[in-house]
């Protein structure tokens, strides 16, 4: 099945994530982001002759943790290799990486899209080191080696992604998994998550793979999606004209919204890989692997399914909550559990609507707002009982955050409870009807909008506390008997 008539897109993603260890992969330098350029360097990460690397144990543990969460087989015997190339951001003129014996391979990641699950193969997960950072100015370039040597995980998918939307979902799920494991910030803006996309197209139903291009330089998931969309169209257009697709590396231009050729693609043989002689091959014991496996929490895909099954959430709502963060998902579940109604929708709407927007304004998640779960539930219940309007609930929420008082107390102290008593409201309605014959006439002659004016007048008389829904019902009833 294809969304491009007669053609099919084939995508494989290579994702790099910086592991958030305190020190670099092979030396003791700090990995802290945003420090003065070249202030976090030493002879090892600057590649001075004779300086010897020592593997950061935690980096290896984090790598194993991610590999396990991606259902990969951990290779008992693994080693590092030198990937040789000359570039000003690479002090040693080689990168310590893993070539033929990566620490893990043959895993998968499940994505869930529009009611359907899809399994995407993970070819390998390996550990390597980051390069420095080049800063290009008008007519010169600067280099910052603070980043050189930070542990990086490379996660390579099989070419089993078939649309930009699937790629987006793959990235969102992967990012969320890594965040749940608490081993990386996965912040694309800070460069702690980077994605290269490999794309080819083929005639729908064809067996083999077409010639691929590799697109780099996307700095958000949205850009990845756009770049893939552009590249697929470009390649299909070439094929339609019977032209050849050149295997090359292309860059995404986020302003022009197009890809352009950077260089022809190098092959692995160009890198002259050979075993890193300064780091002995090593064995990861079964016990170690099992003890790391024990630390893996429930992962996003499982949580999304469970929230849909147990609490009746829609796919969209479940994803918003689960992908937000592990803490937010735990918090939301606590709220859902406390609401003793099987209809969780009003609560979920409140969580992902007003609460998430308050959280965004404060640069935190809903769990970071500091509101006990039972108070959120009580606020939503006030709305459901029609004690207060939804609008009032939103302003009470702000006050709960600012004053740490309970919603019930704020509602009581400020006397915010709506008047829903129909006798009291009928009295006000009758006054308003008497005082506004023109609007009544308008309404009776078919201008249905006029009723909103009358409702407004009742609201005024009640100092904003009348329940507008009930008021409207009463007015309708009164005027239909008129
Ligand atoms: P390279 O050696 O060029 O880096 P790899 O075989 O290592 O290529 O694959 C790199 C990535 O490209 C993987 O994610 C893989 O799934 C993807 N890939 C490989 N071939 C194709 C293709 N023909 N079309 C789309 N993606 C591909
Ligand atoms: Zn160093
Ligand atoms: Mg490759």
Considering only the C-alpha atoms of the chain, give the largest distance between any 2 of them, rounded to a whole number of Å: 99
Q: Does 482 have pLDDT greater than 80?
A: no
Interval between CA 158 and ligand 3 midpoint (Å): 11
Predicted confidence band at 374 (pLDDT cuts at 50, 70, 90)? Answer: very high
Residue 10 CA: nearest ligand 1 atom is 25
Q: What is the mean pLDDT of the chain?
A: 93
Q: Does 297 have pLDDT greater than 90?
A: yes
Ligand minimally distant from the alpha carbon of residue 198: 1
Residue 268 CA: nearest ligand 1 atom is 2
Per-residue b or e along 190-201, where b marks 16 or more CB atoms closer than 10 Å to that residue's CB: eebbbbbbbbbb
Antiparallel, parallel or unpaired: β 213-216 and 248-253: parallel
Ligand minimally distant from the alpha carbon of residue 12: 1
**Phi, psi for residue 12 in degrees, rounded to 5:** -130, 135
* For ion ligand 2, residues whose CB falls within 5 Å: 27, 29, 42, 44-45
Alpha-carbon distance 396 to 390, whole Å? 10
pTM: 0.88
Alpha-carbon distance 306 to 383, whole Å? 27
Alpha-carbon distance 280 to 282, whole Å? 6
Q: To test the ligand 1 pocket, which listed residue (174, 198, 209, 273) has its Cβ within 8 A of the most ligand atoms?
A: 198
Alpha-carbon distance 392 to 376, whole Å? 14
Interval between CA 213 and ligand 1 midpoint (Å): 9
pLDDT at 2: 55
pLDDT tens for 96-126 read: 999 999 999 999 999 999 989 999 999 999 9
Q: Ligand 1: which residues within 6 Å by Cβ?
A: 10-14, 156-159, 198-200, 209-210, 212, 265, 268
Give DSSP secondary structure letters for 297-331.
---HHHHHHHHHHHH---HHHHHHHHHH-HHHHHH
Ligand minimally distant from the alpha carbon of residue 212: 1
- CATH, domain range 422-480: 1.10.10.410
Q: Domain locations in the chain?
A: 3-292, 300-413, 422-480
């Amino acid at each position: 099945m294809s969304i491009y008539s007669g053609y099919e897109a084939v995508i494989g993603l290579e994702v790099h994530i910086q592991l958030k260890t305190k020190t670099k992969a092979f030396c003791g330098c700090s990995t802290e982001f945003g420090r003065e350029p070249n202030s976090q360097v030493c002879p090892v990460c600057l590649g001075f002759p004779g300086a010897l690397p020592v593997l950061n144990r935690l980096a290896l543990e984090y790598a194993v943790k991610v590999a396990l969460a991606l259902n990969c087989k951990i290779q008992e015997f693994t080693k590092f290799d030198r990937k040789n190339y000359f570039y000003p951001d690479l002090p040693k003129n080689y990168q310590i990486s893993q070539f033929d014996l990566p620490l893990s391979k043959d895993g998968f990641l499940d994505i869930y899209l529009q009611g359907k699950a899809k399994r995407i193969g993970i070819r390998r997960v390996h550990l390597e080191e980051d390069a420095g950072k080049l800063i290009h100015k008008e007519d010169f370039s600067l280099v910052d080696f603070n980043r050189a040597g930070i542990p990086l995980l490379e996660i390579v998918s099989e070419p089993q992604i078939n649309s930009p939307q699937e790629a987006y979902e793959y990235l969102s799920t992967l990012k969320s998994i890594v965040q749940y494991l608490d081993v990386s910030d996965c912040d694309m803006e800070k460069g702690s998550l980077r994605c290269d996309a490999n794309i080819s197209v083929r005639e729908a139903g064809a067996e083999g793979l077409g010639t691929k291009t590799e697109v780099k330089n996307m700095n958000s998931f949205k850009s990845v999606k756009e770049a893939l969309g552009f590249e697929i169209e470009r390649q299909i257009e070439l094929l339609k004209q019977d032209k050849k697709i050149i295997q090359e590396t292309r860059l995404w231009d986020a302003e022009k919204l197009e890809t352009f050729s950077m260089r022809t693609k190098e092959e692995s043989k160009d890198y002259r890989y050979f075993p890193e002689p300064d780091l002995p091959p090593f064995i990861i014991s079964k016990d170690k692997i099992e003890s790391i496996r024990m630390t893996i929490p429930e992962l996003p895909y499982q949580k999304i399914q469970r929230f849909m099954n147990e609490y009746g959430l829609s796919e969209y709502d479940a994803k918003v909550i689960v992908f937000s963060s592990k803490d937010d998902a735990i918090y939301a579940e606590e709220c859902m559990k406390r609401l003793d109604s099987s209809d969780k929708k009003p609560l979920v709407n409140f969580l992902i609507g007003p609460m998430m927007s308050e959280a965004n304004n404060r640069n935190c998640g809903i769990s970071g707002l500091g509101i006990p779960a039972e108070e959120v539930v009580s606020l939503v219940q006030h709305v459901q009982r029609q004690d207060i309007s939804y609008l009032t609930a939103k302003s009470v929420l702000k006050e709960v955050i600012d004053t740490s008082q309970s919603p019930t107390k704020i509602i009581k102290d400020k006397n915010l409870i709506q008047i829903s008593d129909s006798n009291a409201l009928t009295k006000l309605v009758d006054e308003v009807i008497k005082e506004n014959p023109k609007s009544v006439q308008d309404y009776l002659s078919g201008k249905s909008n006029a009723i909103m004016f009358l409702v407004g007048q009742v609201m005024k008389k009640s100092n904003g506390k009348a329940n507008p829904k009930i008021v409207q019902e009463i007015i309708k009833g009164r005027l239909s008997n008129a």
